[in-house]
Amino acid sequence: MALQPSLRPLIIAGSSAAPHTLDIFLDYVCPFSAKMALAIENVLVPLCSEGGKYGDKVKVIFRPQVQPWHASSTFVHEAGIAVARVAPQQFWPFALALFKQQGDYFDIPTSTITPLEVRAKLATLVESVIGNNLTNDFKSLLELKGSPNGGNAVTDDLKYTIKFSRQNSIHVSPTVLWDGLVANEISSSWGEKEWTEFLAKKVAV
């Protein structure tokens, strides 16, 4: 599947030249996405990274899935893209940290704070992952532009991810594509057994 150059850090495991692709659409404020993220970290990353059984055969791409019925979804995904820009190697560690603290960004906890306060809260989390030397660069990417409705420096990348989901009819998270087709059998409850059996079958084809 296509991935524009600025979003290459979203390949979280495997070689970009791998013949097979797992596109995994996740929303940082979705509990089921958080559950799948743990399986990605504990099962897919070891299997599909360099030295793993499928390191040269399968690449795993994190696909940001903004779900607008959660008011903070846009803000948390902006943060993820900004981290990918300023600290590419820390994108996935930050994603994991955000999933672990996703409750702070649920509907009710964010209902009484402003968007600027949400972004400030995210900046504190970012600093704990990438360090304070890059946090100012992160913050600058999320500063609103001079135009009243111009977005920020990562808005175009955010638009790309949303358009990509829409044109592929991805509606909810988590959704997983295998080589471009929705794999409906994959569940957020999958563990090592299910994933290893799936890959053994698919990669052998």
Residue 113: predicted pLDDT: 96
What's the rounded Cα separation, in Å, for the pair 36 and 76? Answer: 17
**Whose CA is closest to 104, among 119, 82, 89?**
119
Widest Cα–Cα separation across the chain? 53
In this prediction, residue 204 carries a pLDDT of 78
Evaluated on CA atoms 147, 151, 155, 160, the torsion sign reads: negative
CATH of 5-203, one of 3.20.10.10, 3.40.30.10, 2.40.50.140, 3.30.70.360: 3.40.30.10
The strand pairing partners of 181, in sequence order, are: 178
Q: Tokens 């690449």 identify what position?
A: 59
Contact at 8 Å (CB) between 13 and 48?
yes
Residues paired with 58 in a beta bridge: 20
Given this model, what pLDDT does residue 96 score?
98
Residue-wise pLDDT tens digits, 137-148:
999 999 998 889
- pLDDT per residue of the chain (205 residues) written in tens, 0 to 9: 689 999 999 999 999 999 999 999 999 999 999 999 999 999 999 999 999 999 999 999 999 999 999 999 999 999 999 999 999 999 999 999 999 999 999 999 999 999 999 999 999 999 999 999 999 999 999 999 888 999 999 999 999 999 999 999 999 999 999 999 999 999 999 999 999 999 999 997 6
Q: In angstroms, rounded to a whole number, what is the distance separating the alpha carbons of residues 184 and 175?
A: 8
Residue 57 confidence (pLDDT): 96
| pLDDT value of residue 205 | 60
Tokens of residue 7, six digits: 């979003």
